[in-house]
Structure 1
Amino acid sequence: MDRWLGLARSLIIYHNPATIRGWRRFYGQILCEGDVVFDVGAHVGTRARAMRKAGAKVIALEPQSLFASYLRLTLPKDITLLESAVGGSDAVAEMAVSSRHPTVSSMQSKFVAGAATAPGFDHVQWDSVQRVQMVTLDGLIQRYGLPSYIKIDVEGFELEVLSGLSRPVPMLSVEFLPGFPDLSFAVLDRIEELGRYKFNPVVGEDAKFLWPEWRNGAAMREWLAGLPADAVSGDIFARVVQD
């Protein structure tokens, strides 16, 4: 029963009409017809649907069996769905699952261990483990082509996802969790190892950039460091700097 309540909760929060409209408008401004995009951690498919509406060719990846089953039944048929996690190698891995709060299920053991004392996570229990197939971003690129954009929302596992990418992509976004700033700083380091990027945050489900201009990594780190631990999470967008 808990798992179905978890799915219902996610649909209420992330798949309501206002949120869907906001992300459709947002992606319509930054994506072009025919763009290849990867949605890593598709969850209930809100972003995948919005990117498709913008004309993109969407490859959606979701390892949680409950959500993958829901997506298989509800996603438009021209969205490619892979029931896989993304990491540093092609392997079988274990994911800690929260039945009541499945949106925070994670493959990052440090995140799960540290969440018990982090603001906003004290009510969460990871009550089961699911074995999942893991693929790499490099492998996905070899199969589907270089994406214009990669969205990564994997509850603390972002660095491991990026470890399987060996070249810059035009744009990507990664979730930031204010209670875990060190994870975000490590992710920024990895992005800057891949290429020259500028950054812009999106807070919560606002579906709009916080800053009118894109800023460098130092400014992004300063902003993150100033967030209280109980601040709203969101996405860090990174756009490659054109020479």
Structure 2
Amino acid sequence: MIGGLKAGIGIARSLLVYHGLPWRVMAMRRFMRELVGPGALAFDIGAHAGNRSLALAKAGARVVAFEPQPAFFAILERIAAKRPIEIRREAVGGRAGRVTLRISNRHPTLSSIVPGWPDRIGSASGFEMVEWDEEIEVPVVTMDSLIDQYGLPDFVKIDVEGAEAEILGGLSTAVPLVSFEYLPAAMDVADRCLDRLASLGTYEFNLVVGENQRFATKLWMSLADFRDYLAETSQSGSSGDVYARLLAASPRAESEEPQS
């Protein structure tokens, strides 16, 4: 009963935050229209409550959304009805198989497949009261296998609580536009993501801080300049999303083994 109450509170909070604030919903939709056009293919990895998938679909994109949490998969099923959104109850990682998903029922946005993630992040500022109170096994697919199935996406959004670098490690083809979440408490993950993207091609970078749904600067930056900018920005304690826009692809790289 207590677990069910926690889960209900967590789901209600996510629905309110991601669907219940009209100004935030409209800002997300405007921003997604800037990034993708009709007919684009987008992967929403860590789709959660589906606000990003819905905004991408309304921008005219064909969306493949990944969400292994059962409660949010059910929400996505309703959102995807009669829309160009395919939902998959899988995690994406560095190699195919199965993995343990640690779920925080009260704070479901913080659920993660990264071993040791609750111990690592739980002591960081703002995470002290988070409890990861459920575990389930979920299937894992790789980016390379998804590209083999669907073709090269125009945009990939990754928000998976610490597994961003593992996902990019399972990618050996440069994607035109990628976003991944960064957390000030785990900037090494962002560094690994930047390293992996640099191995796939020449990218330029920008940043969205928090839920602003607009780029932090008008000018996109080179990798070297962006590393300094991201390090400085992260000192404010705010999380956000890194955006990487492809300028030129490198020869096909080998997928990496996931790192724990």
What is the TM-score when the length of structure 1 is the normalising length?
A: 0.96
Paired with 1:50 and 1:236, the residues of 2 have a C-alpha distance of 18
Structure 1 counterpart SS, 2:185: coil
Offset from partner CA, 1:90-110 (integer Å, 9 cap, x none): 211101110100000001124
TM-aligned CA deviation for residue 73 of structure 1? 2.1
Residue 203 of structure 1 corresponds to which residue in structure 2? 209
Give the secondary-structure state (helix, strand or coil) at the position aligned to 1:180. Answer: helix
Alpha-carbon contact 1:118-1:229 (below 8 Å) kept: no
User: Counterparts of 2:175 and 2:108 in 1: how far apart (Å)?
Assistant: 29
Q: Is it true that 1:14 corresponds to 2:26 in the alignment?
A: no
Structure 1 segments of 4+ aligned residues over 3 angstroms from their partners? 227-230
1:27 corresponds to: 32
Give per-residue Cα distances to partners, 1:169-212, cap 9 Å, x unaligned: 10000001011111111111111111110100001111111110
DSSP-derived class of the 1:155 partner: coil
Quote the residue 1:70 is aligned against.
75
Q: Are the counterparts in 2 of residues 149 and 172 from structure 1 also a CA contact under 8 Å?
A: yes
Contact kept, 8 Å, 2:54 with 2:79, in 1: the verdict is no
Summarize the alignment of residues 143-222 of structure 1 with structure 2, pairs less than 5 Å apart: 143-222=149-228
Unaligned runs of 5+ in 1: none
Deviates more, 1:196-205 or 1:76-85: 76-85
Question: In the alignment, residue 96 of structure 2 is paired with which amino acid?
Answer: D
Matches within 5 A, 1:130-145: 130-145=136-151
CA distance in 1, matches of 2:101, 2:227: 29
Q: Percent identity?
A: 42
**2: distance between equivalents of 1:192 and 1:213?**
19
Compared with structure 1, are the counterparts of its residues 159 and 228 closer, same or farther at alpha carbon in structure 2 (3 Å cutoff)? closer
> What is residue 37 of structure 1 aligned with on the other side?
42
Residue 116 in structure 1 maps to residue 93 in structure 2:
no
Mind listing any 5+ residue stretches in structure 2 that lack a counterpart? Answer: 250-260
Verify the 8 A CA contact 1:44 1:67 in the aligned structure 2. Answer: yes
The answer to whether the 8 Å contact 1:119/1:230 transfers is no
Structure 2 distance, partners of 1:209, 1:236, is 10
Alpha-carbon distance in 2 for matches of 1:216, 1:110 = 33
SS at match of 1:66: helix
More displaced stretch, 204-213 vs 214-223: 214-223
User: Distance in 2 between the 1:39 and 1:45 partners?
Assistant: 9
Aligned-residue Cα RMSD (Å) equals 1.4
Q: Are positions 1:223 and 2:243 aligned together?
A: no
1:6/1:189 Cα in 2 relative to 1: closer, same or farther (>3 Å)? same
> Contact between 1:178 and 1:227, CA under 8 Å: does it hold in 2?
no
Task: Provide the rounded CA distance (Å) in 2 between the counterparts of 1:126 and 1:147.
Answer: 33
